[in-house]
Amino acid sequence: MPRVAPRLHHVRCLSQAAPTTVVTSKAATSELKVELYEEGKLAKAESTLCLPETALGIFPGAMGTVLLPRIVGPAVARDLILTSRRFDGQEAFELGLANRVAKGAEQTVQTAMDLGAHISKMGPLGVKAARIVIDQGLDMSFKDHALLSDEHRFPLNDSEDFKEALAAFAEGRKPVFKGC
């Protein structure tokens, strides 16, 4: 069961294949910015989120001014940062700040656990390589990003997990991955 903090839960499921942030209540400033880094972002529909720094007369640090425009675009980022407007988990989902939204804390945590369990059943070598290519490629040119993708993809063709995936597909069964 995940460790429950009063505002923000970091849920690491099974083989820790899916670090997930779950927002279940009020989340402001650094907690919201931590969430921007996580790959699985789930919000409770009733949560209240905001970036309150400008209302406090201070600069919104902790990378919010860098990350938020990349996720929601500069116009929405300006709205959220410059006005310190509060928004709920449903709007966070609609803006792309959350991958999924659920009602109530228990359903939200269960959704996170289900997501982590699902990802942990995927091929660990492919998941790891995909994370690297997605994360490292964001600031690359398309050509360099494609080369990075090939660097991580082609070596996996010789892995035991790849052979297992092909055999499982041919036999109509689920693969059993070993991470090698």
CATH code of 115's domain: 3.90.226.10
Q: What whole-number percentage of the chain has pLDDT above 90?
A: 41
0.85 surpassed by pTM? no
Same domain for 69 and 147, yes or no, is no
State which of 21-25, 117-121, 142-146 shows the largest mean pLDDT: 142-146
Predicted confidence at residue 114, as pLDDT, reads 85
Angle at the Cα of 94 from the Cα atoms of 63 and 65, rounded to 5 degrees:
15
Tell the residue number behind the tokens 């790891």, with chain if given.
128
Q: Identify the residue with better confidence: 144 or 26.
A: 144
Residue 1 included in any domain: no
Give the helix ranges, DSSP H, for 23-159: 30-37, 64-72, 74-83, 89-95, 105-120, 124-137, 142-153
Predicted confidence at residue 141, as pLDDT, reads 93
Domain carrying residue 165: 124-171
Predicted confidence at residue 117, as pLDDT, reads 84
Rounded CA gap, 1 and 8, in Å? 15
Give the SS3 label for residue 41.
strand
